[in-house]
Amino acid sequence: MKFLQQVINTYHGRGIKFRQILGERQFECIRKPMEVIVITVNTTAYNKHVPEIERYIRTLKERVRATTSTLPCKQLPHQLIVDIAYKAVFWLNCFSHKNGIHSKLIPPTIVTGSKVDFNKNCRLQFRTYLKFHKQHNN
């Protein structure tokens, strides 16, 4: 509930109001707290899934697998996997969807007001070898 409330507050801060939350059966426990703030929770039937969410998860997994398959090692540090997943979500959200709520604005701009700086975010390709020297005094 704490994290869901943070998401709701972020959207409300930008003037976007929730009316409904779609989720699987495990989200039934948030129905009562959401009704207090006038948000309907619509859960699926037993052992069913929300197709849009399942498709997004499958796309995200494909992106993460594609990136990790280019790495030379078999065991990856947990933080590297988290960062690869974060970047996959970042790039999926960097383009407006043809059936989205806005034809020009991308989701990060709509939700947080931030803009993607392609000079900053596209400067290096993943797995680019970098060598630098840090000044130190032994």
| Residue of 63 and 101 predicted with greater confidence | 63
Asked whether 44 and 25 are in contact (CB, 8 A), the reply is yes
Asked whether 70 and 49 are in contact (CB, 8 A), the reply is no
| pTM as predicted | 0.70
Q: Which of 65-79, 81-95, 98-112 has the lowest mean pLDDT?
A: 98-112
Q: Which of 19, 21, 22, 15 is nearest to 112 (CA)?
A: 15
DSSP type of residue 10: H
What's the pLDDT band for 57 if we cut at 50, 70, 90? very high
Q: Which of 80, 32, 82 is nearest to 60 (CA)?
A: 82
Task: Write down the domain spans for the chain.
Answer: 1-49, 50-138
